[in-house]
Amino acid sequence: MSLFGTTSGFGTGGTSMFGSTTTDNHNPMKDIEVTSSPDDSIGCLSFSPPTLPGNFLIAGSWANDVRCWEVQDNGQTIPKAQQMHTGPVLDVCWSDDGSKVFTASCDKTAKMWDLNSNQAIQIAQHDAPVKTIHWIKAPNYSCVMTGSWDKTLKFWDTRSSNPMMVLQLPERCYCADVIYPMAVVATAERGLIVYQLENQPSEFRRIESPLKHQHRCVAIFKDKQNKPTGFALGSIEGRVAIHYINPPNPAKDNFTFKCHRSNGTNTSAPQDIYAVNGIAFHPVHGTLATVGSDGRFSFWDKDARTKLKTSEQLDQPISACCFNHNGNIFAYASSYDWSKVRIPRPALGAARQQSRALGWESIGLSCDSSPDSHHSFGQSPAHGKCPVSVSGHRLPCPWVQKDGQAGG
Amino acid sequence: MTICQFFLQGRCRFGDRCWNEHPGARGAGGGRQQPQQQPSGSNRRGWNTTSQRYSSVIQPSSFSKPTPWGGSRDQEKPSFSSFDSGASASRNRGFGLSENPFASLSSDGQKDEKKLLEGIVKDMEIWESSGQWMFSVYSPIKTKPNISGFTDISPEELRLEYHNFLTSNNLQSYLNSVQQLINQWRNRVNELKNINISTKVALVRHLLYVPCHIQKLNQAAPTFGFGSRQTTTFGSPGFPVNSSSSDNAQNFSFKTNSGFVPAPSGSPSGFRSPPAFGGVSSASSAISTSTPVFGFGKPEITSAASFSFKSPATSTFGSPGFSGFSASSAADPVRAPLAPAFGSVSSVAGFGSPGSHSYSAFSKPSNDTFGNSSIPTSLSVSNSIVATDNVLFTPKDKLTVEEVEQFQSKKFTLGK
């Protein structure tokens, strides 16, 4: 297993942000920083499935790499391995048995990374960057589903170079989620399609978007019987829509809520509105977490329609998030998500240096152990007892040692 | 009922037998109230069957908790309701006015329209002041189609373009392009914030009179003119690309069957249907927007002269269940994003190679074969409901803005 390659830049090229640790909001939640985090923005995070003992975190970044860490119970993160693509990695996912990781990249391919042998082979090809990748495990088939900006959704048997199936999308695929037997794809131009995956994937329904602006992220939630029953859709306008597929009363059951806005519910002053970059559902409690460009993450209860908790504001947008398989650990990535459109200063120069100039990319892991936030649940143990949260820090940083919890 | 545009021109050969509404001729008698007729499958395509009243839909930007939007919208194809009320609006007014149904609306229609416009203005103000992502489509109400003039670019796409430019060392053109996109956006937002008569007319038509899914079909993928490449697609004569009379050239353009790479990408495409006497089947692509083509070469400028009667598409509107997307599992005829490319040819953009689905906002269509009849004409046909209906004429709502204007004007000026 190769450790991560060049982490050049440690201590160099930094901005003046270092040193003023007192006002630094790099890690206001005092979560654990993952060591050796990627050099450029993190686009996607994924935790290993329950079939694998322990917790392994995969992150794909705009530095063309995919990194894997083992996250131990005491919170320590150990970098394990890395693979490269020839373009930024946009999405990652695990196979159901935890032996393979699938990565989708802007180089129009998707690869399958066998962790045991540390080999990655290409399993998919598109005509445009592959934006989403998911593993589908059905009783009678299993395949990888890739959604791309070339407006197609392709299903791949990893052994063959031809897709098993190609479905046309009305527009570029922006985000997708799969929980067998349901898959949801949200596309550009406010398109929204639900697929059913039994027997073979087929389009189930096209839905009118409940949101007024561009779709950004989607996540499927399950009902009490553990069957997928609806999805949460986030847009660039600081709003999330909860949509059930077959609700008894659509007008009342489906709703939208505002989030990631600067003024909270005070609507008199003009608010700053931020994009919702990621949505993740807690596997056990069914609460949802949203992360936004404002640099905060929030937990919500969609059944009680309340907000449970919002974090402090980080200094950078949070670009991705993920729960581990039992919900004890919540990982979020703090890195520039291009929401300001501006090119990072200094304007010219190599990409690496520029991303550094922005700040630093980091991944934080947190365990929401505060019981009060789950009061409305009435459920016993709160999220979990994980004492630490780690966020990766490329530059030597006092935090890593500081929080007494880190590393025990 | 639909307004008979032949009648409006004074040449309806069915006269009293005509199935369509002849406003002014017989509308006076209380108008034909919308009976709950034709429960299904009428050749009106369900326009008359809506039970949802238009007014219940409008909830301009008030996302209160249980948003009353839903209704039973999930399955239903609501878009026709808007048409319906629009039609009724114009119908009710019929008596005594000459053939200009758009001249005034009934009070109902007016109220809805007002609310809609207010909602849009408010949303625009919020959009501008909030610092949210600019490059997004927008629709005032969830059931309405996207308003033209906005492009949908995700941050990742933009960032990828940046990366590509970086490798080709052409940062300045990236910066320029982005600046142009921003300016385009700003112009459009200002236009919508300060709605003048012409914008209003265009908006109202776009949102109220054209069935929703057609609109969605016509939303072009972002087209940008970057670099010095001429957007020949828009510039060549005979292209039926016009910007609507009301909007500023930059922001609207009517897309037609662009003879692009008939790549089987599933993008919704807009077809323009020649006016009825073109004698061809319908599909009107209503205001299709090709998103702002920026200024290189000829920005889509209007002119009646450039309108052409293309041989047309049988556009299939898909089944009502589809929220606005045609069942485009078949080859996409048209719309590959008409974007003229970035100055430096990006290796990522799917240029020209026929099979490529140019995904990116910045890609350039391979050829400018507009006006060729190689234009693939059909969207997936399987769900077509429309095709046979409009062989003779195109219902008014299916016409593009200019076409409508032509029909309403005293003299036909197209092509002159």
For residue B408, the model assigns a pLDDT of 64
B 266-325 near A (Cβ less than 8 A): 266-268, 321-325
For residue B10, the model assigns a pLDDT of 82
Measured CA to CA in angstroms, residue A144 lies from A67, A124, A153, A156 at distances of 20, 9, 10, 5
CA distance from start to end of chain A: 25
Count of C-beta atoms within a 10 Å radius of residue B338: 30
Measured CA to CA in angstroms, residue B402 lies from A246, B32, B49 at distances of 41, 28, 28
Q: Given CB atoms, is B146 within the 8 Å cutoff of chain A?
A: yes
Instruction: Please indicate whether, in this complex, the C-beta atoms of A128 and B134 are within 8 angstroms of each other.
Output: no
Contacts of B152 in chain A (CB under 8 A): 171-172, 188-190, 214
pLDDT band at A173 (very low <50, low <70, confident <90, very high): very high
For residue B138, the model assigns a pLDDT of 87
Instruction: Please indicate whether, in this complex, the C-beta atoms of A172 and B221 are within 8 angstroms of each other.
Output: yes
Q: What is the pLDDT of residues A277-335, one digit of tens each?
A: 999 999 998 899 999 998 999 999 998 999 998 888 888 889 999 998 988 889 999 88
Strand partners, A121: A112
Q: What is the pLDDT of residues B44-90, one digit of tens each?
A: 443 443 344 443 444 444 444 443 343 334 443 433 333 333 333 33
Distance from CA of B102 to the nearest CA of A (A): 27
Disruptive mutation site among B58, B65, B72, B74 for chain A (greatest number of A CBs within 10 Å): B74
Strand partners, A94: A101
Q: Given CB atoms, is B332 within the 8 Å cutoff of chain A?
A: yes
Instruction: Please indicate whether, in this complex, the C-beta atoms of B221 and A188 are within 8 angstroms of each other.
Output: yes
Asked whether residue B273 carries a pLDDT value surpassing 90, the answer given is: no
For residue A112, the model assigns a pLDDT of 94
- Strand ranges for A245-334 from DSSP E: 255-258, 276-281, 288-292, 297-301, 306-310, 318-323, 330-334
* Average pLDDT for B383-396: 50
**Cα dihedral sign, A221-A222-A224-A229:** positive
SS3 A172: coil
Distance from CA of A248 to the nearest CA of B (A): 10
Instruction: Please indicate whether, in this complex, the C-beta atoms of B133 and A152 are within 8 angstroms of each other.
Output: no
Strand partners, A205: A194
Distance from CA of B66 to the nearest CA of A (A): 6
pLDDT band at B282 (very low <50, low <70, confident <90, very high): very low
For residue A146, the model assigns a pLDDT of 94
pLDDT band at A197 (very low <50, low <70, confident <90, very high): very high
For residue B277, the model assigns a pLDDT of 41
Instruction: Please indicate whether, in this complex, the C-beta atoms of A189 and B216 are within 8 angstroms of each other.
Output: yes
For residue B177, the model assigns a pLDDT of 86
Asked whether residue A106 carries a pLDDT value surpassing 90, the answer given is: yes
Disruptive mutation site among B69, B146, B154 for chain A (greatest number of A CBs within 10 Å): B154
For residue A364, the model assigns a pLDDT of 67
Asked whether residue A362 carries a pLDDT value surpassing 50, the answer given is: yes
More confident residue, A151 or B354: A151
Q: How far apart are CA B280 and CA B390, in angstroms?
A: 8
Q: What is the pLDDT of residues B247-257, one digit of tens each?
A: 333 333 334 33
For residue A196, the model assigns a pLDDT of 92
pLDDT band at B364 (very low <50, low <70, confident <90, very high): very low
Q: What is the pLDDT of residues A10-63, one digit of tens each?
A: 333 233 333 333 456 677 877 888 888 788 889 899 999 999 998 999 999 999
> Phi-psi category of A45—alpha, beta or left, where left has phi over 0 and alpha has psi -120 to 50?
beta
Asked whether residue B207 carries a pLDDT value surpassing 80, the answer given is: no
Asked whether residue B302 carries a pLDDT value surpassing 70, the answer given is: no
Provide the mean pLDDT of chain A: 78
- Strand ranges for A6-64 from DSSP E: 32-35, 42-47, 55-61
Check: CB of residue A136 under 8 Å from CB of residue A150: no
Instruction: Please indicate whether, in this complex, the C-beta atoms of B329 and A167 are within 8 angstroms of each other.
Output: yes
Under 8 Å CB pairs connecting chains A and B tally to 216
Instruction: Please indicate whether, in this complex, the C-beta atoms of B156 and A338 are within 8 angstroms of each other.
Output: yes
Question: Which one, of A160, A167, A162, lies nearest residue A197 by Cα?
Answer: A167
Question: Which one, of A149, A15, A66, A62, lies nearest residue A337 by Cα?
Answer: A62
- Of A193-207, A236-250, A339-353, the range with the lowest mean pLDDT is A339-353
Q: Given CB atoms, is B357 within the 8 Å cutoff of chain A?
A: yes
Question: Which one, of A129, A166, A191, lies nearest residue B363 by Cα?
Answer: A129
For residue A322, the model assigns a pLDDT of 92
For residue A371, the model assigns a pLDDT of 35
The residue count of chain B comes to: 416
SS3 B275: coil
User: pTM to 2 decimals?
Assistant: 0.57
- Of A34-43, A71-80, B201-210, the range with the lowest mean pLDDT is B201-210
**Cα dihedral sign, B289-B290-B296-B298:** negative
* Average pLDDT for A384-397: 30
Contacts of A211 in chain B (CB under 8 A): 142
